[in-house]
Chain A
Amino acid sequence: MARQPDGPPPPPTVQKLRIRYAKRGRLRFASHRDLARTLERALRRAQVPMAFSAGFSPHPKISYLGAAPTGSASEAEYLEIGLSVRCDPEAVRTALDAALPQDVAVLDCVEAGEGTGSLADRIDASLWRVELPGVTLEELQPAVDAFLASDVVTVAKRTKNGLKDIDARAAVTSASAADEAGCAILHMVVRQVTPAVRPDDVLAALTAVADLRPPLPARAVREAQGRLDDTGTVADPLGPDRAARISAPEERATI
């Protein structure tokens, strides 16, 4: 008979917090796994009373939502944590932010609203901003126009099983070109589909339709994630939780 852990089961989850955080600067080179390890250690250092799974190798209750790819910065990454002791969300935000490296910032922390549904259901698209150093607006604009005029743009994507052809066009619901200090900027809204269409794939599509070849690596930033609405933009996924909190204020403990 296998050993079982002695003692009582771990305390249950009494509160769920939803957190928006940013990865910036050098840490855009962190992978999702790198960030997950860093966040879990920061939660320990910040002494956030995490709820743990049962068994011999208890894991803190954290779920991550669609992580930005390695190399991309983001202002809108989301995760949800389960706590074993109720805490003031703002106190958790401050403590966690202080325990993280400078280039990871905790922007928002709200309590999951009762009956508001899952966070994952509130996210189906990303708003991207891609800086293209060495590319001018005059070069980018026709490429974006050609891309938008196409129904399908097939690009080769590296996956676990080797190169695979995907359509980079259908997932892009809007795209536009702009200029900032002589550097072309691509703004776009991309639906989260499987297999994922990432900024790199859209850039490969611009090469395919208009032979746009940026001389330097592009810098992509995910500016927002959320549910695509009728106006073509994305809604704040923490909105329903905020609304629930305003309508039902409760007593809170602090950490």
Chain B
Amino acid sequence: MEIRAIGCEPLSLKRIGVKDGHTLKVYRDMGGYKSLEKAFKMSPADIIEEVKKSSLRGRGGAGFPTGMKWSFVPKDSPKPKYVVCNADESEPGSFKDRYLMQYDPHALIEGMIIAGWALGSSTGYIYTRGEYKYLIDIMDIALAEARDAGLLGKNILGSGFDHNIHTHTGAGAYICGEETALLSSLEGFRGHPRMKPPFPAVEGVYACPTVVNNVETFTSVPQIIEMGGENWRNLGTEKSGGTKLWSISGHVKRPGVYELPMGYADMEKFIFEDCGGMLRENKKLKAVIPGGSSVYIMNAGQILGKNVTLDYEGLVTAGSMLGTGGMIVMDETVDIMESTKNLTEFYKHESCGWCTPCREGTDWLVKIFNRISDGGGRPEDAQLMLDICDNIEGKSFCPLGDAAAWPIQSAIKQFPEDFKKWLVDKAATRNGIEANV
């Protein structure tokens, strides 16, 4: 599987293929922890300003401006502050954070210490999905290296600043990738999300100011400090700064993790040239989910010849979202009713159960999909599912409800023939009377 940069010098992927790149020695040989030294000479306010200038946006899917998130932490709060890394990577189609942790653990550590300095925090946690146990072991080794070298603990590099980072395991729950559910889980409870406001920056873990950021967001921070926020932003576009890791899977010849400059033009070139084109030469492109399962599905007509640029704005213009950059490519052999059913089962399994619209809605959607795939589809099922999606979207505590609705809404809109096949052509007959179209 490929892991490489295209259209830019590798930044996040700088240590891929470098022997022992995960060790402290090699990290330092390649300039690692120089950003931390530089950061200690800057004021916390200046660091936050630099991150704002970079226009770094959360790489975990929500894309919230990171500098703005950090600035929400109240500087004069007497409570201890926490830095939490969201390594719960569970979005279907996304598989980038695991390679950052495996091959570049010190980049994550350095980014979190800089964040700790900027936010006045002395404790950080790396919340890692339980299935990634081997990565927790790798992070523990890297953290021990950092501690032994005085890069963690008391008076780091003689700065007077104390900071410790601990790993923490999840136990199988996609919802714990949502930052407030993550904090519930970190406290030892069921992974239920919490109402915002208050935002974690004000009241997070243990009701203390907390910044939760994705792995790739933190690993971008040393890069930003090293080259300056504006230079980092200019690697991408005005509103989508820097580079982004894309995870490509499905029916392409070269699936893998690719680092692209934000604004890379365009999605068609990326799929057909950089990723080697369709897996089976005689099967045409049918559908792409560009940013992880929770974004709108796109049909080939929205991509071919449309110059879809790979940045936040470009994907919205094209009718979808960037999300996590987890791109799933599907050829004409995929039945979109079946693929949407598969994702709906995912959201139903992962719904935490707190909110009625999401808990009951995802359950009913799965039941309807089961009836359809058993041959009992009815023409009115499309509207029925859209009505249920309408009752979930925007009406639950957290975005999982929306994420469950969007695949269905976009699939029915972009692939009506696939649904017509199941709902009309194979429509249920009652007492021998054909259902009305």
- The reply to whether chain A is a binding partner of chain B is no
Binding site for B on A (CB under 8 A): none
Binding site for A on B (CB under 8 A): none
